């Protein structure tokens, strides 16, 4: 599908355009955080503990007197970093495993797909919890663990695409010209198998952000004083009866971010799926 045709189909989907706008806005907020945040997110002021939203602190303050708006703005950086690095790692692993299984078939396909099935037998979140519990909680450990436990879906998608492409005429022509297996996979097969991977990766960013927020909420993710939407929610849980804003505003940030990536992913899927052409 040509880029112009893809964009024309994508642009007609108003929900997808809304998702793209929200994702773009989140990028700008994270990049411009030092200029948008009204306060230092780590500044403690014990004279302004648990202040409700006001003209001075638009989204209130937390139990240490830190500005919630500033911490949510800086927390967007953590969410984007975790989402893109974790999904990037998962996508690379999934591409390699799926391409090898689909291209070579036989015992290679059998071994790799049984390993995929074995990984899918474990609930991913509990597997992440188990690994994180054995490691020092840090943003880098979280990104790596989410990435190495989330590649199985990509591997299955790529394998299915490679199986349908490997007997096509352009692959046979490349073989006749003496192209190596690596060249055929990298130059001819994978570029034609990326469409469903794009959708999966976009939706995977939302899942990674949710996972990081859940881990931080449980105290196993990004550690204070680094601001994260999850650890802001932890403070909200401890003060839910007197400080509703600590739960509502970071919760809304997670909701809008996850919803925007889901809308964007669905829009990409509909734009590249030839069965949905009008």
Going from the N-terminus, what domains does the chain have, and what CATH number goes with each? 80-225+250-276 (1.10.3720.10)
What pLDDT does 2 receive? 67
What pLDDT does 40 receive? 92
What pLDDT does 223 receive? 82
Rounded CA-CA distance 86/150 in Å is 8
Cβ–Cβ < 8 Å for 140, 162: no
**Whether the predicted model's global pTM rises above the 0.75 cut:** yes
Radius of gyration for the chain, computed over Cα atoms and rounded to the nearest angstrom: 22
Rounded CA-CA distance 123/190 in Å is 29
Cβ–Cβ < 8 Å for 82, 146: yes
Cβ–Cβ < 8 Å for 91, 196: no
Mean pLDDT of all residues in 47-65: 91
Other C-beta atoms lying within 10 Å of the C-beta of residue 246: 26
Structure-model confidence comparison of residues 21 and 137, the more confident one: 21
What pLDDT does 180 receive? 86
User: Which DSSP string do the residues of 30-42 spell out, in sequence order?
Assistant: HHTHHHH-SS-TT
Please report, for residues 9, 83, 132, the alpha-carbon distance to residue 146 in angstroms, rounded to integers and kept in the order given. 32, 9, 10
Helix or strand (DSSP H, E) at 15: helix 14-31
What pLDDT does 275 receive? 56
Backbone angles phi, psi at 10, to 5 degrees: -65, -40
166: confidence class by pLDDT, cuts 50, 70, 90: confident
What pLDDT does 121 receive? 85
């Amino acid at each position: 599908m040509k880029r112009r045709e893809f964009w024309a189909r994508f642009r007609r989907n108003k929900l997808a355009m809304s998702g793209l706008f929200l994702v773009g806005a989140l990028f700008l907020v994270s990049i411009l955080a030092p200029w948008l945040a009204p306060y230092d997110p780590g500044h403690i002021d014990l004279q302004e503990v648990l202040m409700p939203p006001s003209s001075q602190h638009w989204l209130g303050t937390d139990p240490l007197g830190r500005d919630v708006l500033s911490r949510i703005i800086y927390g967007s950086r953590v969410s984007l970093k975790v989402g893109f690095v974790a999904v990037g790692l998962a996508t690379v692993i999934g591409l390699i495993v799926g391409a090898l299984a689909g291209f070579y078939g036989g015992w290679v396909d059998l071994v790799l797909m049984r390993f995929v099935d074995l990984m899918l037998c474990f609930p991913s979140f509990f597997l992440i919890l188990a690994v994180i519990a054995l490691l020092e909680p840090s943003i880098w450990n979280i990104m790596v663990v989410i990435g190495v436990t989330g590649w199985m879906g990509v591997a299955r998608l790529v394998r299915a695409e490679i199986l349908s492409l490997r007997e096509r005429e352009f692959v046979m022509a490349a073989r006749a010209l003496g192209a190596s297996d690596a060249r055929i996979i990298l130059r001819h097969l994978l570029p034609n198998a990326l469409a469903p991977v794009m959708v999966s990766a976009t939706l995977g960013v939302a899942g990674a952000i949710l996972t990081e927020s859940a881990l931080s909420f449980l105290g196993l993710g990004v550690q204070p004083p680094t601001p994260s939407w999850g650890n802001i929610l932890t403070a909200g849980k401890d003060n839910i009866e007197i400080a509703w804003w600590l739960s509502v505003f970071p919760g809304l940030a997670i909701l809008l971010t996850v919803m925007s990536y889901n809308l964007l992913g669905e829009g990409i899927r509909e734009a590249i799926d030839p069965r949905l052409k009008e």
